[in-house]
Amino acid sequence: MENKITAKSFLPILLVLLVSGLFIYLGKSLLEEWNTDHRVLLVGDGLLFGVTAISFWLYIRALRNSNMHAFLRVMYGSLLVKMFVCLIATFVYASVAGRNVNRNGVLGCFILYILYTFFEVKILMQLNKKGSSKHA
């Protein structure tokens, strides 16, 4: 039962992946007009989804722990890992692309990062509220 709740709560994040991926794929010509490489956005979107999925899984495990310190350690650790993965991916892209770095693509990935993080935090706050009302 609890796994169904977790899977159902992850659906908005999956929806962000599908909608953003569809927009990026179908909006290639619009993105070209804005000097934005759709391939950078697609790879960034996939990477952000993967990192968010791992981070979400860690948060869910931490929510089940009654020790608040353990939850905070996982929360901050997950946040740092997510940020470092994105930072490393940006540096790898910049070193591979050289002078051909698509700044609009990197900015678009930053916007996607904010979008994924917003939905992740919103869902986790709702789950935390439900969990704390059960224990009250």
The tally of domains found in the chain comes to: 1
Specify the pLDDT at position 136: 44
How many CB atoms within 10 Å of residue 4?
8
- Give the tokens for residue 30: 């619009």
Residue 34 lies in a domain: yes
Is residue 7 a part of any domain in this protein?
A: yes
Tens-level pLDDT at each residue, the chain (136 residues): 466 767 888 999 999 999 999 999 999 999 999 999 999 999 999 999 999 999 988 888 888 777 878 878 887 888 888 889 999 999 999 999 999 999 999 999 999 999 998 998 889 888 877 766 554 4
Distances (CA, A) of 55 to 18, 26, 94, 123: 19, 29, 25, 13
Which class for 128: exposed (0-12), middle (13-18), buried (19 or more C-beta within 10 A)? middle
Range of the domain at 89: 2-131
Whether residue 111 is contained in a domain is answered as: yes
Residue 136 in domain: no
Taken in order 36, 41, 21, 118, the sign of the CA dihedral is: negative
Structural domain includes residue 24? yes
pTM of the model: 0.87
Measure the CA–CA gap between 35 and 80, rounded to whole angstroms: 31
Q: Is residue 97 in a domain?
A: yes
- Domain assignment present for 28: yes
In a domain, 67, yes or no: yes
